[in-house]
Each structure stands twice: as structure tokens, then as C-alpha cells.
Structure 1
Amino acid sequence: MTRSYPAPPGGHPPQEDLLTGRAVFTEAYAVIPAGVQRDIVASRLPHWEGTRLWVLARPMSGFSETFAHYLMEVAPGGGSDRPESDPRAEAGLFVTHGAARLRIGEETRDLGPGHFAYVPPGLRWSLHAGGETPLRVHWIRKAWVPVDGLAPPDPVVAEAAGIPPDPMPGTEGRWATTRFMDPDDLRHDMHVTIVTLQPGAAIPFLETHVMEHGLFVLEGKGVYRLNRDWVEVEAGDYMWLRAFCPQACYAGGPGPFRYLLYKDVNRHAPLGPVVPG
């Protein structure tokens, strides 16, 4: 089945629109609705041609500190041979629109909507848009945390449609996770997954945990409990959760509720400021 993914609306709203919206930034979470992803808040990056992006999350002291999440829009023929300036950075890339040519080390792969790639730190890579329509890709960046005796992970290239979803116990598959990384591979210090809840399915308790989250809604709508609040979200919206923010949700229907999820995993909690090695 070919899936349709949401894209930033861009443009500029008319003067007649109301100021009232759903965007919120609190001490524990933020919601960035699709409707605020406009031209006026787009950014650009050095060494990227024909490209603009929306920065949905970035490290901030006292809030989500481990990752950045970009929503990239690359014109046909655009892209970069020098996409990353930080040698510590690992990347998770998820394509939603258009065609991408990704080179990791000496290997080149063609990616389309629903494809995911993981690029380990220190490995040269490039990304370019092909075809006749813009390439849109989620780019999740994190500084890989080294561990004595563990090498960085291997690159990963996968297609969501080819990965059997892993159902949560006792849900008969109504709540399932598509896992792009091996959860038993402790070289990984972040996981990027797709979570799918069928209409009426729920995360039935207030998860309260150390992992930070970035959640981009790929399909459908749902109601999320974030800290003390109930928040309604739909395709194209983004949620940004700090560590220990209580969270639960249920899918609103009429179709599945799916989101792309980042979380940090598999490392000790730092006991003081992290000093670069």
C-alpha cells in the first residue's frame, strides 16, 4: 500500500486568519502544529543547495538535551556533499516525499517515501534530490555517546513497509512498533521507530521515563496526555517531550494513528556536565 505523508504547508497565512492556534511550549513538553510550519520560520544550512528546513527540536538546557530534529525540503537537483559539520553526529533519515540518492561511505542507495537510513558518526555521507518533485526527509541528529569496547553501529537502510510491526503484548496488534534498529544492539544510543495505533487503541498508562522523545505524526489523529494536559494532534503535528514527562494517548480514528518516534537509549545517565573527549 502506498502511504501519503504530511508536508509542511509553507506559504503565509492570510491576514484574516485568527491568531488562536494549538502551539504550546511548557516546562515539560512542546507541541508544534503543522499549521505553524510556514515560510517565515524556515531555515537554511551551509553546504546545502536548493534546501530549506524547519527545525522542530534542538538541544536546550533543562529541556530536551540529546537531539535535534529537522524537516528538510530539497528542490530537485539540490542537496549536499557536506551535510554534517559535527564529527560526533549520527543521523536518522526518514523520507516522506520525492526521491533521494544517499551515499554512505562508498555505497550509494536510492530512497523513496517510507525509506529509513541510519548513518553512524565519523562516516562520510551525502544526500541529493532526484526526480521532478521536492524531496522531503526527516533528519534526526544526535551526538553518539562512545562506550569502551563498543564500536559505532553499522549503517542501516530499510523500508518501513518491509519490516513486520512488533505488536505490544495483549493488544492483538492494535498497538505495534516498526523498529528500524535492532533493540538488542547496544552500540545504538538512539532508536527511531514508527508507532501505529489502530482506531480506539491506547497507551493505557502514564509512561514516565528517562527517555526524551520527538514524535512527528505521520497519519491520522489522536489525543495525547502530556504531563497534566490532554492535547489533540493530527498528521503533520510534532511533539517534543523532555525526560520524565508523563505521557499516554489513544487513537481517534477513523483510520490508524501513526507517528515517527525518537528516543535516547542504552547509556548511563551522566553524573555531571558532559566534557568532550
Structure 2
Amino acid sequence: MFAEGRTKTLHYTSGGPGAAIATAGFDLADVQSVEQLNALPAGMKGLIWLNESSGVTPRFIDRVKPFIGNPRLFGFRLCDEPDITGKYHSPAVSPAALKAEADWIRANAPEAVTFITLMDMGSFEAPSFMNTFNPANTGIDLFGLDPYPVRGRAFDLDFIDRTVEAAVAAGIPLDRIVPVFQAFGGGSWKTRTGAATDTYILPTPDQANQIFARWATYSPAPVFDFAYAWGSQNGDIKLGSTSPEAIKLRLAFKAHNTEQ
């Protein structure tokens, strides 16, 4: 059984080295190599970024095998927001391909968790994950949901509610959901709020605390939660940035991550 025997929620962020993210209370690191995994600080686990969604290919096996049996291994992040249609991310990803990967990992590394983040195929007003990916058709353990509520045109905590309800309706139980917290803003990222093009805004500490509290009504003790993200992309400000706003936000995340 995935995450059997766990005693606390782990806290994950992507794009940052173990020593840096540990200063903000994170204890689950984004890892791509065995060398990175072995170099993590004491007590920190690694979630391996595979970026594999084509099934059990020789490349997939070559990527996974070196991590099997490593005591620092927590699990494998198979891919990010797979697109079952191929319309937004090419090529299209099939549930069968992801199920083959999850089954192979379960057979060869039964202690490891499998994880993906989900693509919202609906809208800001009406999220949808129907007829995409869930535990029944993929065998994957955990599914990340990333409703980012802090935007130029709105701060809408109810977006979290709408997203969770849509995921449950699509066959994803609450205990399989990983909350993904917004920890970025600015840069070149664009989104849609209503009918208008919009931008993401870095949450304030107060907004972050409201996000934590709203998520806790659905997932008070998830296997892990996910702060997206530590490292900057697209010119944005993220949790690991040196700006005063990011430093204040890190303190809010540290308080959240160490309150247990």
C-alpha cells in the first residue's frame, strides 16, 4: 500500500536543491539523479522527476532502475499534466501507458509512490478532469491538483473548492489528492480568468495562509503537499527568489511546513 506507515505529511517543492529548501521546512525534494538523491540532507526524501509517459520503454526502465532500493527514495513523479487529447501538450498520453508504468514500479519498487499532476480540461469557472486520469484507469497512487487562486483579476479561494469537487467527480478520492500551493507570480505566465487574459500574482503571506486553510478543509493530512515552485521559470518570482516578497512568503511556508 502506498505511503504505508507514514506518520506525517511531507512537504515538497520543485526546482530547488535540498539544502536550500530545507531552510523553509521542506523535507521532500525534486530529484533527477542518484547523485542528487544521495546528497540530500539527513531526513529528506526524494521524489524522482521522470518525465516519462509513453509506457514501459527501455528508456523508462533505464531511468527508474538506478533508484530502486535507495533508502532516500520516496517515489516517482511520472510526468506533469499529461494531456489525454494531445491538444495542449503533444503527444497525447493514454491512461494505459501510465498504468503500465505505475504497475512496473509497483512490481519492482513496491515501497515507492507514483504521482502525477493533473491538467484541468475545463475552465476557471468550471474545472473538469472527467474522462482523463484517475486511480482506476492508471493505477497511480497520488494526483496533484493546482488551482492557483491569486491572479491580477481575482483572489478566488473558491477555485480550490471547484477544482477538488471536479476531481472527486472524476473518480479521484480525497485521500489520493496532493494539494499544490501557488508560490509564484509575475513573469510571462498567462492564464484565463473569466473571458480575459490574466496574470498570476505572487501570494502574500496572508493569502498563502488562507490557501493552506482552504485546502485543509479537504486534505487535512495529505501524504504530501506541493509548493510550486522554488526555482524561477519564465522570468517569474518564485519561493526561492531573493525579493523581499519571496522572503516573506518563505517564512509563511516554513511556518506551515513545521507546524506539525
Question: Which entry has the higher C-alpha Rg, 1 or 2?
Answer: 1
Q: Say whether the fold is shared (TM-score over 0.5).
A: no
Indicate the TM-score class for this superposition, using the shorter chain for normalisation: 0.3 to 0.5
TM-score, normalising length from structure 2? 0.34
RCO comparison, higher one (Cα < 8 Å, 6+)? 2
